[in-house]
Amino acid sequence: MAQCRGVPPEISHNDQVMSPPIVPDSPGPVNVVLIGPPGSGKGTQAVRLAERYSIPHISTGEILRSAVRAGTDLGRQVADTLAKGSLVSDDLMTALVCARLSEPDTAAGFVLDGFPRTVTQAAALDRMLGQAPMIVILIEVPDGEIVRRMGTRRVCDSCRLTQSVADAFHPDTEPCPYCGGNLVRRPDDEPDTVRHRLATYAQYATPVIEHYRSRLSFAVVDGVQHADKVAAAVAEHIDRLRLQRQ
Ligand code: ADP
């Protein structure tokens, strides 16, 4: 895409099968922003969208977690914040996303997962994108369902695939069904941290949603249905907007 060359000064401070994508003659980039509470399935949907439209999946949480694993400067800077389930500063996140959106693989679009989380970040993203189209989709899931999901969420320490395990899951006997690696709980999926992340989401999400709600490109999708159905609803919204753009 990206109108991100040169960060503006205010930023630098601080069981349904999807139909194939309908590709208009000059569709323009598919710039998609997924918002929703932790555990709402943004990551799962982002992976599908990335494949469907051949665009990169940009997960700010994954960028930060891999920096922590690799022990980079960024990783050391954010490790405590991630462990607590609090938010990394707007300045740092904005600079990070701005740099990522400036990379050439975003020319055909991107799926942004985890950003923006605050109104300051949302305003910064508007400035980065300028006149470029942006499709914002809120995946809605109530708190009770989130807590249930996070209790069974595991990530493979080898292939990094996030998956959900049965309540009677036994980590020593049940390896990752895809690669045989160990299924482990993400450190910030421990129950206390989940509660803190949900409280943080509740505090910041409403104004971010209000920032987008009046836009024609904004849609709310029910996240408490099979992932295939969520994917179909998300794709339908994106394809409808792309057709209108022609
Ligand atoms: P979640 O499952 O909570 O949506 P993510 O993988 O998106 O988790 O993010 C994990 C953590 O990374 C967050 O709890 C937060 O500490 C940090 N983080 C990710 N994106 C942002 C952001 N846009 N602003 C501030 N902190 C962020």
- For residue 113, report the phi and psi dihedrals to the nearest 5 degrees: -130, 110
11: pLDDT strictly greater than 50: no
- What is the distance in A from the centroid of ligand 1 to the CA of 150? 15
Which tokens go with 243? 């057709």
- What is the distance in A from the centroid of ligand 1 to the CA of 18? 29
10 Å CB burial of residue 221 (0-12, 13-18, 19+) is: buried
- For residue 199, report the phi and psi dihedrals to the nearest 5 degrees: -65, -40
Instruction: Give yes or no: 186 in active site.
Output: yes
42: pLDDT strictly greater than 90: yes
230: pLDDT strictly greater than 90: yes
- What is the distance in A from the centroid of ligand 1 to the CA of 117? 8
Instruction: Give yes or no: 149 in active site.
Output: no
- For residue 135, report the phi and psi dihedrals to the nearest 5 degrees: -110, 120
Digit-coded pLDDT (tens) for 148-189: 888 888 899 999 888 888 776 676 668 898 999 999 988 888
b/e sequence 48-62, b meaning 16+ C-beta within 10 Å: bbbebbebbbbbbbb
Minimum-distance ligand 1 atom for the alpha carbon of 188: 14
Q: Closest Cα to atom 10, ligand 1: which residue? A: 61
Average pLDDT over residues 202-225: 95
Average pLDDT over residues 118-140: 96
121 lines ligand 1 (CB under 6 A): yes
What pLDDT does residue 17 have? 62
Instruction: Give yes or no: 117 in active site.
Output: yes
pTM: 0.83
Band of pLDDT at residue 196, cut at 50, 70 and 90: confident
95 lines ligand 1 (CB under 6 A): no
Q: Strand 109-113 relative to strand 57-59: parallel, antiparallel, unpaired?
A: parallel
Average pLDDT over residues 41-54: 95
Minimum-distance ligand 1 atom for the alpha carbon of 116: 23
Digit-coded pLDDT (tens) for 107-128: 999 999 999 999 999 999 999 9
Among the ranges given (9-13, 22-26, 68-72), the one the predictor scored with the smallest mean pLDDT:
9-13
Non-local CB neighbours of 139 within 8 Å, separated by 6+ positions: 34, 35, 36, 40, 41, 42, 45, 221, 223, 230, 234
Instruction: Give yes or no: 229 in active site.
Output: no
Give the percent of the chain with pLDDT over 70: 87
- What is the distance in A from the centroid of ligand 1 to the CA of 193? 12
